[in-house]
Structure 1
């Protein structure tokens, strides 16, 4: 492969790295107006989860309508659970133990995030409006990567080469307008399938093309050929507190901490270098592939993910399954004669209560 001037030019214009880049794109795209697509939620300050999934038997009949009145999107078991499970709070009726166990098994294997930012499980024709390719062609290298839609995931794939002093491939968003306010969150979650290599994730709190970035490396599991479920699928957490300020694979020890209330862009990279300029021990030149299911955010004070509801006592077996299925479970034991309207009110409160995580609540105690 030889260095590609055309790719170099397209990269700089895509990311507005040249003074006339936007005008050039306007001409190149046939004088079409600039897209107004904003792929991520503009406001993330609210504490109420955006989605709720109602499963099982024994839930109060007024729960769905009460949630809708609060602006929550409500899913039920008649819809695609694989889509609904990712970011929803699950209200699980435990009246039918066998059915509840089936749902808990589904939840345990689904992978979860608290706040969905980018959902790649369904193809999106607007992907190119906000995610682009940024490879070592900008410094004379010859590596090449691309974004392709796979089955329930976005594939970041291609060839990485150390020729011409290169050695990195990446995909990066354009600057987000307005910037993301993630100040109420502790970090990001990536659901992905890897290839055994070590990747880096970057955040920027400035809009400059070549501005400093905050980096965190993570290792992926190698894919296994046999088996019905890929052993490589995993959830990776990127804590904001562990991201280090860098500039071109050099640490910036005197830089201020990441301003998580102003996230201007995100970037995923495979590089021969670590953040401090040392060699990446798991890097290998040649073909690579990373499958992305989604990018989400997790809270500083996590809210319940599974709220198991039963009249009387929760069976020990189901309680153990909830604990295995999620660290963010909450059990609700309601009196047999409790009015459904009172139970609904309490469930809405528990949905927004970090204090209820990992607890079994007897709801009649709130109305003694």
Structure 2
């Protein structure tokens, strides 16, 4: 018998002009002074920013809300094709929780996050298994035994450069200053 994973082809979630609804979300929402913009085009999404550590220390690009939520339950991971700068970034995934929306009552919202490194030259392809995503609220890990990541209810994707890693500790790959990250494509892979 052939396993289901072998029968499922990768799914292109977003690429090229499909990033057109993505917007910057920076530490200015919490009193910081970093600035960043997201630009989309035929080659994908570019995040250009000036990261200021004091008062926040993060910049990001995030998707619009997916309605209906993305159902990626037939897949085991997200794969990102990036033109990086040698920094460490985080992928943050928001999900509808199926528990009467209780996680949406958490200020800042619950996100499922995982760190990844980029090369300073050429294309970096990273694969982030769903099982590696960690529950987090505002860069702080959360122990939530009743909640599990649900790949069938993904409502938003976000790429961040933050002074905090996915474990809540300082990100060893964080650097203040000018930043440029290209995101060519995001796929769901079996």
Same fold (TM over 0.5): yes
Point out where structure 2 has 5 or more consecutive residues left out of the alignment: 1-6
Partner of 1:192: 82
Larger relative contact order (C-alpha < 8 A, sep ≥ 6)?
A: 2
Q: Distance in 2 between matches of 1:173 and 1:149?
A: 12
Partner of 2:46: 155
What's the secondary structure of 1:241's corresponding residue? Answer: helix
Query: How far off its partner does 1:289 sit?
Result: 0.8
User: Is residue 217 of structure 1 aligned with residue 115 of structure 2?
Assistant: yes
What's the secondary structure of 2:152's corresponding residue? Answer: coil
Query: How far off its partner does 1:295 sit?
Result: 0.6
Query: How far off its partner does 1:149 sit?
Result: 4.1
Partner of 2:62: 172
Query: How far off its partner does 1:276 sit?
Result: 2.4
CA RMSD, aligned part only? 1.9
Query: How far off its partner does 1:185 sit?
Result: 0.3
User: Is residue 145 of structure 1 aligned with residue 36 of structure 2?
Assistant: yes
Query: How far off its partner does 1:247 sit?
Result: 0.7
Point out where structure 1 has 5 or more consecutive residues left out of the alignment: 1-46, 50-113, 224-231, 300-368
User: Is residue 115 of structure 1 aligned with residue 11 of structure 2?
Assistant: yes
> In terms of Rg, which structure is larger?
1
CA contact (8 A) 2:95 2:149 kept: yes
Partner of 2:135: 245
- Once the two structures are superposed, residues 258-291 of structure 1 have per-residue CA deviations (whole angstroms, 9 ceiling, x without a partner) of 0111001111000001122211111110001111
After TM superposition, the score normalised by the length of structure 1 is: 0.45
What's the secondary structure of 1:258's corresponding residue? Answer: coil
Q: Distance in 1 between matches of 2:8 and 2:158?
A: 28
Q: Distance in 1 between matches of 2:32 and 2:115?
A: 22
Query: How far off its partner does 1:151 sit?
Result: 7.0
- Once the two structures are superposed, residues 320-343 of structure 1 have per-residue CA deviations (whole angstroms, 9 ceiling, x without a partner) of xxxxxxxxxxxxxxxxxxxxxxxx
Query: How far off its partner does 1:210 sit?
Result: 2.5
Q: 1:276 to 1:147 in 2, by over 3 A?
A: same
After TM superposition, the score normalised by the length of structure 2 is: 0.85
Partner of 2:153: 262
Runs of 4+ with deviation above 3 angstroms: none
Query: How far off its partner does 1:162 sit?
Result: 1.3
Q: Distance in 2 between matches of 1:280 and 1:161?
A: 14
User: Is residue 133 of structure 1 aligned with residue 24 of structure 2?
Assistant: yes
Residue from 101, 123, 127 that aligns with 1:233? 123
Q: 1 or 2, which has the higher helix percentage? A: 1
Q: 1 or 2, which has the higher strand percentage? A: 2
Partner of 2:188: 297
